[in-house]
Amino acid sequence: MKNIMLIAPPAAGKGTQAEMVVKKYGIPHISVGDILREISKEDSELGNYVLETMTSGKLVKDEITYQLIENRLQQEDCKNGFIIDGFPRNIEQALKYDEILQKINQPIGNVILIDVDPKTLEKRITGRRICEDCHAIFNINDKNQAPQVESFCDYCGGHLYQRSDDNIEAFQNRYQTYLEKTAPIIKHYEDMGVLVSVDGTQSMEEVFQDIVHIIQGSEK
Ligand code: AMP
């Protein structure tokens, strides 16, 4: 059984790596960002609040995310492990996460930090495109990840879109928030002895190999 947490700055390849882990280990991917993006489509007070907050690059209120996580982790498919990403994003969320795990009798598992410098991140952010239909991720600033036909998905032919928060201003906001809020979380898990760091500037496959080594190393 594997519980995995990914910590990474925005656009470090966290989503891609999470999907690769899901495929290899058959565990559910719990992305708070994705859950919130779904909620942001709802025409309700909550939907409007979430949309506004995400577009500005700020964090959604803790009470909302706690409820989402607690509900999600209690679903049947999480019994044999899960990969959580985008949570916790501040030390309060980390402490609350420890509490939730204890309550539902789950170990913390592997905490993996994907490390990438801000210049590389900025290039990735402005080039990121996502398929509307199958959610495949491309990058027009990287010839190895660009779609073969501009604006269309290589896999299903769906239309590619740019996330509303994938712009320089929102990135700078999100990166600043990441630096301020995430440093204490990294220290928290370092102190617990569960944090391992991987070099996120490597190719997608190399990063994944490092992650697999960490997961398999912890199973020995
Ligand atoms: P992500 O897809 O992880 O980059 O998240 C996109 C946006 O969703 C963030 O900029 C926040 O507005 C919101 N969000 C995601 N995870 C959290 C969280 N743990 N707590 C609060 N807001 C979050």
What tens digit of pLDDT does each residue of 5-24 get?
A: 999 998 888 888 988 999 99
Mean pLDDT confidence for 56-69: 90
* Domain locations in the chain as residue ranges: 2-212
Q: What percent of the chain has pLDDT over 90?
A: 70
C-alpha R_g of the chain:
17
**Cα separations in angstroms, 108 against 4, 83, 93, 179:** 7, 11, 14, 23
Structural contact between residues 18 and 97, judged by C-beta atoms closer than 8 angstroms: no
Mean pLDDT confidence for 148-158: 97
Distance CA 126, CA 119 (A): 11
- Characterise 86 by phi-psi region: left (phi > 0), alpha (psi -120 to 50), beta (else): left
Structural contact between residues 81 and 5, judged by C-beta atoms closer than 8 angstroms: no
Statement: residue 218 has pLDDT above 70: no
pTM across the whole model? 0.76
Residue 86 or residue 147, greater confidence? 147
pLDDT band at 164 (very low <50, low <70, confident <90, very high): confident
Statement: residue 25 has pLDDT above 80: yes
For domain 2-212, give the fold.
Rossmann fold (3.40.50)
Statement: residue 158 has pLDDT above 60: yes
Distance CA 81, CA 22 (A): 10
Eight-class DSSP state of 83: E
pLDDT in tens, 169-188: 988 998 998 899 888 999 99
User: What is the pLDDT at residue 15?
Assistant: 82
pLDDT band at 217 (very low <50, low <70, confident <90, very high): confident
Active site residues: 14, 89, 128, 163, 174
From the CA of 170, give the closest atom in ligand 1.
10
Cα(203) to centroid(ligand 1), Å: 25
Pocket test for ligand 1, best of 36, 37, 56, 137 (most atoms within 8 A of CB): 36
Mean pLDDT confidence for 204-216: 95
Cα(171) to centroid(ligand 1), Å: 12
From the CA of 36, give the closest atom in ligand 1.
8
